[in-house]
Amino acid sequence: MRRHEVEAAAARELLACYEALAARRAHLLAGLLRGRRPVQWRHYPAEDALDRETGYQYFYHCHASGKRKGGPEHGHFHLFRRRAADRPPAHLLAIALTAKGVPRALFTVNQWVAGSPLPGARAAQRDLSRFEIRAAGDPLVNRWMAALLRLFRPEIARLLVERDRRLRAARGGRAALLDDRRVEVLSSLPIDVDARFEEMRL
């Protein structure tokens, strides 16, 4: 499919996810939290959502209340790709949510934050374009996440390129920046799903 066809299909799928949530009067995270209030730093689901066949993995967690760049954030998803059982998963991307469960930003974190290697922009883009989890997590969240990544593929590509450019330009060198505890986020981009739907006349 051409790019606009992929994005249109992704937008329709994302809208269908929100319609399903509205029909249930449910929050996006309902299936992961299972009626419990989220505890700071705790992973949801507890053992992470890991599809052992594809190696894709994610978890959601929240930090102390406050604001990150771009506005208030309830918490975020961390997305990974695990290529071998005896190796740490590669961190691909993070998706920030508002308290209502609406995605408000995409961002990349520093290596010390993820506790795992950061693949180059091209490899990360390839993995994210194929991101799909079927055998773990919450089915609706899985659908929502895959659709969101396809819809914002161009923005994700720019975000990853910006991250790699920053690493290459680091004054003390790439290795020093990757371990710099003062730098948590390497690149960030606000997103607006409603505005995208309006642009696509959905």
- Calculate the dihedral angle through the C-alpha atoms of 192, 196, 199, 202, rounding to the nearest 10 degrees: -130
pLDDT digits (tens, 9 = 90+) for 117-160: 899 999 999 999 999 999 889 999 999 999 999 999 999 999 99
Q: Give the pair of three-digit tokens for residue 153.
A: 């593929």
If pLDDT is split at 50, 70 and 90, which confidence band does 68 have?
Answer: low
Which pair of tokens denotes residue 167?
Answer: 């690493």
Distance in angstroms (rounded) separating the CA atoms of residues 130 and 63 = 28
How far, CA to CA in Å, does 26 sit from each of 14, 44, 64, 141, 200? 15, 17, 24, 12, 25
Strand ranges for 33-89 from DSSP E: 44-50, 56-61, 67-68, 71-72, 75-81
Contact 110, 94 (CB under 8 A): no
189 pLDDT higher than 90: yes
Token output for 150: 């396809």
- The two structure tokens encoding residue 121: 């922009």
Q: Could you give the CA distance from residue 191 to residue 41 in angstroms, rounded to a whole number? A: 24
pLDDT, average across residues 5-29: 93
Amino acid 65: pLDDT? 58
Sign of CA dihedral 27, 31, 35, 37: negative
Domain ranges of the chain: 3-199
pLDDT tier, 19 (very low <50, low <70, confident <90, very high otherwise):
very high
pLDDT (tens digit, 9 = 90+) per residue, 149-171? 999 999 999 999 999 999 999 98
Q: pLDDT exceeding 70 applies to what percent of the chain?
A: 95
How does residue 201 score in pLDDT terms, banded at 50, 70 and 90?
confident
